[in-house]
Structure 1
Amino acid sequence: MEALAVRLSGLDSEAEGVVRIVMFYDTLMRRRVDLPALARASAGLAECVAGIRLHGTGRVIRVAPDGRQTSGPPPRASTTAPITLDDEEIGTVWLERPGPPNPLDEALLDRLAIAAATAVERYGPARTTMADPALVELAISSDSDEAARARALRLLGFAADLPVRVIAVRSQVPLDQVGGLVCPARPVKAAPLADVGAILATTVDPARFPAGVRAGIGAAETPDRSWQQARTALRFTTPREPVIGYDQLGALALLAETPQDAVRDNADVAAIARIAGNPEHLETLDAYCATASLRRAADLLHLHHSSVARRLDRTGKALGIELTEPTGLIRAKLALTAWRLLDD
């Protein structure tokens, strides 16, 4: 390989140089080299620093012509090319030539990008938590076909025979920290998607979510279905119950599918909306619905149970519901839950 590099450096014919570059990288790919070896070989061939970056993991490899890794902020790249796999850009390769680009630099980077994509597909990504949002979205989107979803999951580091659970998160804690806590035994990947964070994991420990996190956990089905379930479960979370698994919802999940106009028109939901401006009413109702007990609600509110009974009586009259009756409690709990889902 080194002898071929020497011969390439003395080429006079650009066309012949391109052919030799193709042969050079074909040899590397047949030898099944990894990304660091590709960077070293490319730097020696180009006689300048060569770099490889993967978007999904943030991994950067920069190698000098002498084969040693370089550190520090890279200078402006003289030539760049995208790494694409299955029509998706997964990274970038570049050269850091001090002077003007060499006529063969474009051909070299084109072949390096192809070889890098092959190495990524063969060896998979580094075991980091944060991932490229586009790759995560491809894995969990209901619009993705199964082949594209399988490729995305493979690039994210998930084995084909493992179920992947998806978590929808709203968090003041960085997503990588949340992912590392709830799935300490990797693989786990996380990415921000529009208004919510997504975490993909093979196992989830609901008890390990830190404070300041709202999370909905999808069931272990296909990633796209699990993501839909996770988004639904997230809508049901409250400060009192910040982490909810979709399988905990049961028939309550049907409320998320009810048209919002129908929910607003319901008399019990409209009554909840009327009392929502009164913190005492809403706080009392929330505690009572969560516990179904005057005494346990009093413990939550740090009040005497007789005080809670008086509050509950006033709240029930404002709602027009007899809250101490079993049917009234069911109506109030359903109405309160449905009201929270409005415009969520």
Structure 2
Amino acid sequence: MEALAARLSHLDTEAGGTIRVVMFYDTLMRRRVDLPALTRASAALAECVVGLRLHGTGRTIRTAPDGRPPAHDPAPASTTLPITLDDEEIGTVWLERPQGEGPLDDLLLDRLSIAAAATLERYGPARTTMADPALVELVISTENDEAARARALRLLGLAVDRPLHVIAVRTPLPLDRIGALLCPTSPVKAAPLDEVGVVLATAVDRTRLPAGTYAGIGTGPDPHTSWTHARTALRLTTELRPVIDHRELGALALLAHIPHQVLHQDTDVTSIARLARDPEDLKTLDAYCSTGSLRQAARLLHLHHSSVSRRLDQIGADLDITLTDPDGLLRAKIALTSWRLLHDRPPTP
């Protein structure tokens, strides 16, 4: 590589420099070099420190022009550029040129970024988050045999013999960002499907999700069951409870199997539908049903417990349910859950 760089260095015009850079990276890509070799060759060509970082793994490579790791700490980057694969930013490349940006640095980094993406794809599976929706659908579909599902998992870069979480997501943010937040250290794949985001992950960190994102987590004996569980959990998410693991629902999950027309005819569910016309009343009842405690509900709502008590007295009268009675609280919780299953789009905060 160094010899090639030396031969091309005799081109001294701007056009010649452009040709030099393009030819250099075309040659590297034909030779199918790995990332360390790509970075070493780039540092020799740029005659300064070159850096490369992958978001998915945190792997960082910095190389000096002599092909060795730099003896000094990282300097401020003079030029940076993202590495993009399938419209997803998966890393960054940069130059540490002490005298500032050079005339061909943008071109050099552009070609380095393209070559790095091609290298990651070739030696993959690449650590991207977004996946082919058709492959994700193969994994969670009930119509495929185990061999087809296993092949789809392998193509996605996921282990066939490891437990798999399936997460149903609604979010205003890019789905690749949500996937990376949910599973920052293990393989994760995501794809949009039927207006819902699907995330396949081997581990889940639910505490990292940003506000405005709703997620239902499914962990079943197979991916299809997990997907069914995840969608049910998503339908029951609320502003106060934006992330639900299906296992937390217990027997309440059985309500998802009741036909909608039956739920529509229930008088308690009808009463909840009337109550829902006032978002504050609905939020108050939700907080009380979620905690079973007046004071804990008040803390969730950031209100004084006496104010919440007065609200609950009025809500109980409107529903004709004694909310302070254990049976009444259970009745309200079942009715509220049933209503959410009929109106399963989470509210906007």
Provide the TM-score with structure 2 as the length reference.
0.63
Partner of residue 13, structure 2:
none
2:285 maps to which residue? 285
Shift of 1:278: 2.5
Once residues 267 and 205 of structure 1 are traced to their aligned partners in structure 2, the CA distance between those partners, rounded to angstroms, is 39
Query: Unmatched 5+ residue regions in structure 2?
Result: 1-28, 34-84, 91-109, 115-120, 345-349
Contact 2:216 2:243 in 1 (8 A): yes
Quick one: structure 1 residues 264 and 125, their matched pair in 2 at CA, closer, same or farther if it must change by over 3 Å? same
Given that residues 167 and 217 in structure 2 are in contact (C-alpha distance below 8 angstroms), is that contact kept between their aligned partners in structure 1? yes
1:240 partner letter? L
One-letter code aligned to 2:274: R
Q: 1:196 is matched by which residue type in structure 2? A: V
2:234 maps to a residue whose letter is L
Partner-residue secondary structure (3-state), 1:287: helix
Give the Cα–Cα distance (whole angstroms) in 2 for the partners of residues 325 and 302 of structure 1.
24
Deviation at 1:274, TM superposition (A): 1.8
Deviation at 1:292, TM superposition (A): 1.4
Cα shift at 1:327: 0.5
Q: Secondary structure at the match of 1:192?
A: strand
Q: Which residue of 2 aligns with 1:192?
A: 192
Match runs of 1:293-312 below 5 Å: 293-312=293-312
Q: Which residue of 2 aligns with 1:180?
A: 180
Q: Secondary structure at the match of 1:161?
A: coil
Check the 8 A contact 2:131/2:156 in 1, yes or no.
Answer: yes
**Unaligned stretches of 5+ in structure 1?**
1-35, 41-53, 60-69, 75-118
Match of 1:222 in 2: 222
**1:274 and 2:271 correspond:** no
In the superposition, relative to structure 1, how do residues 343 and 289 fare at CA in structure 2: closer, same or farther (>3 Å)?
closer
Check the 8 A contact 2:218/2:226 in 1, yes or no: yes
The letter of the residue matching 1:277 is R
What SS class does the counterpart of residue 253 from structure 2 fall into? helix
Write the distance in 1 (CA, Å) between the matches of 2:325 and 2:206. Answer: 33
TM-score normalised by length of structure 1: 0.64
**Cα 1:138–1:56, aligned 2, differ >3 Å: closer, same or farther?**
farther
C-alpha contact (below 8 Å) 1:56/1:156 kept by paired residues: no
Question: For residue 262 of structure 1, what is the amino acid of its counterpart?
Answer: V
In the alignment, is residue 165 of structure 1 matched against residue 171 of structure 2?
A: no
Aligned to 2:43: none
Quote the Cα distance in structure 2 between the aligned partners of 1:283 and 1:55.
41
Q: Which residue of 2 aligns with 1:149?
A: 149
Question: CA 1:160/1:294 → structure 2, altered by over 3 Å: closer, same or farther?
Answer: closer
1:238 maps to what in 2? 238
Q: 1:305, CA displacement in angstroms?
A: 2.3
Tell me if 1:248 matches 2:248: yes
Return the alpha-carbon distance in structure 1 between the equivalents of residues 307 and 197 of structure 2.
Answer: 41
Structure-to-structure mapping, 1:34-53, within 5 angstroms: none
Preserved CA contact (<8 Å) 2:163 2:202: yes
Query: Matches of residues 1-344 of structure 1 in structure 2 within 5 Å?
Result: 71=111, 125-344=125-344
What is the alpha-carbon distance in structure 1 between the residues aligned to residue 241 and residue 305 of structure 2?
A: 22
State how far apart, in whole Å, the 2-side matches of 1:164 and 1:253 are.
20
Query: Hey, what's the Cα distance between the residues in 1 that align with 2:242 and 2:312?
Result: 24
Percent identity among equivalent residues? 61
- Report the count of equivalent residues: 245
Offset at residue 221 of structure 1 (A): 2.9
TM-fit CA distance, 1:244: 0.7
- The answer to whether the 8 Å contact 1:164/1:221 transfers is no
